[in-house]
Structure 1
Amino acid sequence: MLLCDIGNTNIKIYNDGLVQIVSQEELLSYQDQRLFYLSVHPSLQSFPDCKKWINLEAFVSVKSSYNGLGVDRKALCSLVDEGTVIDAGSAITVDVMQDNIHTGGFIYPGKKAFFEAFRNISPRLDFSYQDILKNRLPQETRSALSYGFIAPLVALVEKLPKPWYVTGGDGGLLLQYLPDAIYRPHMIFEAMKQIIQRNGLC
């Protein structure tokens, strides 16, 4: 089964258990194959020349009163009856499911965006992330920035219902501070498979 997750930053192809990041040009090399996809990229929503491709957006369903919930967040939440889904990508999205209903969520800057924001304020704040001790106040600038990124996020998540499901490119980083979390690196593809099966698309 060929699946594609088109994000704001990366395009990921899932092919029989293997996941790879591809360019737009490489993606179109699959145009003659049967491919199921979800896209949040504003300019990569439809592909008229790819007759065998199926956009799964219309088949994604989750009970929610949240206005503007992205299709990727809906898909991830559709896998969960109870708990919190944390997708650590370009932006970090946190969504809560209770009794199979999406009860709300929030969006937090991704690691790259967070540090770029400070870099734009001053060259003295041009640092990359480093691991920190979340219960000890930092004593130098690089640690202070890293603490400012991770500690508030972890504190917010710790107040939300378990189980915590972590996915996304920076998911491994969050696991260091949320040891009880369940890491599902390919959760979006798990969701797509379930959507396909539920709707008899394959």
Structure 2
Amino acid sequence: MILCDIGNTYIHFYDMNRIWKNNPDHIAKKELHSDVYYISVNAENEKKLLKAHKNSYNMAKIVQLNSAYNGLGVDRKAACLGVRDGVIIDAGSAITIDVMNRGIHQGGYILPGLVSYIQAYKQISPALDKQINFGINLDELPLDTQSAISFGIIKSIVLIIKDIIKDKKVYFTGGDGKFLAKFFEESIYNEMLVFNGMQISIDKELKKYKENR
């Protein structure tokens, strides 16, 4: 069995031994050696997976989270399922921040991903078309444009996350999660968060099936 998380930029796979990602237009079919169970937030990328591997099954209906949030994405549900108490940050194409308390989802919010911030600056002016300096010091005022942009992006994200964390544990996942985690003491980076939630959902469904036999 292969688990699959279909995002807006990449498709991530997990086969119980390793995690890898593919560009949706270049799915490595030879690596899909068994049935694929997936969740998706991008309908077009989902179609590309189904075209590449027919034995793929959408498991969105069984990914259930105790939450009053209207329209919570299946990827956010999965990421939260493995955390009973704490703040979950999934930093990918978008940065989602969710709070769990005693197994109940309290709510959350969404920020643009790092790439989206860069694109926004570029649209303002060609002079602001700069890449992020990931070594920026957030304790010093910038003295050049690249540093100013990097400071504005990263510090705004860090501060809004710190505002909600307070004394809670914080868990990071996603492509930029490891980078953002370094700004928070005792943060936990876990690239398996979404896949763990998917596996929890499968195990619950199998348990119900056995009980009803």
TM-score normalised by the chain length of structure 2: 0.85
- Per-residue deviation, residues 156-187 of structure 1 (Å, max 9, x unmatched): 21122421000000112102211321000121
Residue aligning to 1:13: 13
Q: Residue 70 of structure 2 aligns to a residue in which SS?
A: coil
Q: Equivalents in 2 of 1:29, 1:4: separation in Å?
A: 15
2:148 equivalent to 1:144:
yes
RMSD: 2.3
Contact conserved, 2:114 with 2:153, CA < 8 A, in 1? yes
- Per-residue deviation, residues 19-44 of structure 1 (Å, max 9, x unmatched): 22224452666778311111111224
Q: Equivalents in 2 of 1:173, 1:50: separation in Å?
A: 33
Q: Equivalents in 1 of 2:125, 2:54: separation in Å?
A: 49
| Residue 48 of structure 1, CA deviation | 8.7
Contact conserved, 2:87 with 2:98, CA < 8 A, in 1? yes
Query: Identity over the aligned pairs, expressed in percent?
Result: 38
Q: Using the TM superposition, name which of 134-143 and 121-130 deviates more.
A: 134-143
Q: Equivalents in 2 of 1:51, 1:144: separation in Å?
A: 48
Unaligned runs of 5+ in 2: none
Q: Using the TM superposition, name which of 127-136 and 103-112 deviates more.
A: 127-136
Q: Which of residues 98, 115, 119 is equivalent to 1:116?
A: 119
Q: Residue 75 of structure 1 aligns to a residue in which SS?
A: helix
Residue aligning to 2:161: 157
Counterpart residue identity of residue 100, structure 1: G
2:77 equivalent to 1:71:
no
- The count of residues paired between Structure 1 and Structure 2 equals 202
Alignment of 1:179-190 (within 5 A): 179-190=185-196
Unaligned runs of 5+ in 1: none
Counterpart residue identity of residue 82, structure 1: D
| Residue 53 of structure 1, CA deviation | 2.6
Residue aligning to 1:126: 129
Contact conserved, 1:33 with 1:53, CA < 8 A, in 2? no
- Per-residue deviation, residues 77-129 of structure 1 (Å, max 9, x unmatched): 11111100000101100011112111111111111110111112111101111
2:89 equivalent to 1:86:
yes
Alignment of 1:51-66 (within 5 A): 52-66=55-69
2:164 equivalent to 1:191:
no
| Residue 146 of structure 1, CA deviation | 0.8
Q: Residue 194 of structure 1 aligns to a residue in which SS?
A: helix
Counterpart residue identity of residue 27, structure 2: E
2:101 equivalent to 1:95:
no
Q: Residue 61 of structure 1 aligns to a residue in which SS?
A: coil
Q: Equivalents in 2 of 1:168, 1:145: separation in Å?
A: 22
Counterpart residue identity of residue 160, structure 1: I
2:22 equivalent to 1:22:
yes
TM-score normalised by the chain length of structure 1: 0.90
Contact conserved, 1:31 with 1:51, CA < 8 A, in 2? no
